[in-house]
């Protein structure tokens, strides 16, 4: 069975005995405390999952892991008067137990001092090696925000960074092109942590040699004139997108025959540049064309060797 990108051997799962007697209760106006019985002597740890419904077919998000022989967990990422459902399983390598019973509790949280959860997390921009996210701030007393992220091949989120109060965007750089990443954000101060935002996902653009120059929202689609022109053997092709869209960028010879499909895929709004190297082509007139669902434009360029 494949779960969150990890393979588990269900046929051998019974070699690890499931935890039992899972209980959940609000505590200290700050968190929900979980505790369970450990019925196995060969687990490497436990995975805690959480949902907003007890329906086993609904979305259960892996919340955290704890080491072997640990039988408690404190869920700080909760919102006052929201009911949360929990279940736990034990694991050892690729093996895992069955689930424990489902336990639930309604959070009773300090609504005066603990910051309210941010909301409306969205993806603002993607490039081959970076993702930018933004969110709404619903509190006036946070000290900052915690950004959590996981890759598609990871089971659990991990904290990757924090930003100061009132900073409502975050850009992660140094990512791998053509990979899927998931993000969520919570607020914090000296009294505790808020619940997380919704979770968003973003796919980094394939490494095509097309680079984002500006993230501002253009008023309209635009295919700019290449520079230099005439050129030998490289020229810079720029284009602007007023919205996230699927594009194709192609090069044609003077007879109108396609000689290169530079890129076909999704791009976020912004202005991009691409350096076309024509060293393998002879002198002459060439055309470059940008096409989306709502726009198509062709411009001429001259290769002069």
pLDDT digits (tens, 9 = 90+) for 165-210: 999 999 998 888 888 899 999 999 999 999 999 999 888 876 667 7
**Residues counted in the chain:** 305
Structure-block tokens of residue 164: 């100061």
Q: According to the model, what pLDDT value does residue 198 have?
A: 93
* Residue numbers in the chain where pLDDT is lower than 70: 1-14, 206-208, 213-217
Q: With H, G, I as helix, E, B as strand and everything else as coil, classify residue 243.
A: coil
| Residue 205 CB-density burial (10 A; 0-12 exposed, 13-18 middle, 19+ buried) | buried
Q: According to the model, what pLDDT value does residue 304 have?
A: 95
Q: According to the model, what pLDDT value does residue 215 have?
A: 60
Q: According to the model, what pLDDT value does residue 104 have?
A: 97
Q: Tell me the CATH architecture of domain 2-106.
A: Sandwich (2.60)
* Cβ-contact 290, 239 below 8 angstroms: yes
Q: What is the pLDDT of the chain when averaged over all its residues?
A: 90
Domains 2-106 and 210-303 share a fold: yes
Q: What distance in Å separates the CA atoms of residue 35 and residue 33, rounded to the nearest whole number?
A: 7
Residue extents of the structural domains in the chain: 2-106, 119-203, 210-303
Q: According to the model, what pLDDT value does residue 203 have?
A: 82
Q: According to the model, what pLDDT value does residue 11 have?
A: 44
The CATH label, of 3.30.420.40, 3.40.710.10, 1.10.287.3510, 2.60.40.10, for the domain at 119-203 is: 2.60.40.10
Q: What distance in Å separates the CA atoms of residue 225 and residue 273, rounded to the nearest whole number?
A: 11
Q: According to the model, what pLDDT value does residue 216 have?
A: 60
For domain 210-303, say whether CATH 2.60.120.10 is its number: no
Q: According to the model, what pLDDT value does residue 14 have?
A: 56
Q: According to the model, what pLDDT value does residue 13 have?
A: 42
Alpha-carbon distances of 45 from 33, 66, 138, 217, 284, rounded to whole Å:
18, 6, 36, 47, 66
């Amino acid at each position: 069975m494949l779960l969150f990108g990890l393979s588990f051997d269900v046929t051998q799962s019974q070699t690890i005995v499931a935890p039992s007697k899972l209980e959940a209760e609000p505590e200290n106006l700050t968190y929900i405390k979980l505790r369970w019985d450990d019925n196995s002597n060969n687990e490497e740890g436990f995975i805690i999952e959480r949902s907003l419904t007890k329906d086993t077919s609904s979305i259960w998000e892996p919340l955290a892991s704890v080491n072997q022989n640990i039988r408690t967990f404190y869920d700080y990422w909760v919102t006052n008067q929201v009911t949360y459902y929990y279940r736990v399983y034990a694991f050892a390598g690729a093996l895992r137990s069955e689930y424990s019973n489902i336990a639930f509790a309604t959070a009773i949280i300090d609504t005066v001092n603990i910051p309210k959860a941010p909301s409306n997390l969205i993806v603002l921009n993607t490039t081959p090696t970076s993702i930018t996210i933004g969110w709404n701030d619903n509190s006036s007393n946070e000290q900052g925000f915690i950004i959590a992220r996981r890759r598609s091949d990871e089971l659990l989120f991990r904290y990757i960074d924090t930003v100061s109060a009132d900073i409502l965007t975050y850009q992660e750089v140094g990512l791998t092109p053509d990979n899927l990443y998931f993000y969520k954000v919570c607020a914090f101060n000296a009294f505790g942590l808020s619940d997380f935002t919704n979770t968003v996902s973003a796919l980094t653009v394939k490494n095509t040699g097309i680079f984002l120059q500006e993230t501002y929202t253009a008023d309209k689609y635009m295919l700019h004139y290449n520079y230099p022109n005439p050129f030998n053997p490289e020229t810079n092709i720029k284009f602007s997108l007023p919205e996230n869209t699927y594009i194709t960028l192609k090069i044609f010879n003077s007879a109108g025959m396609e000689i290169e499909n530079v890129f076909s895929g999704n791009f976020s709004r912004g202005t991009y540049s691409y350096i076309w190297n024509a060293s393998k082509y002879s002198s002459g007139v060439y055309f470059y064309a940008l096409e989306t669902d709502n726009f198509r434009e062709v411009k001429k360029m001259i290769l002069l060797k």
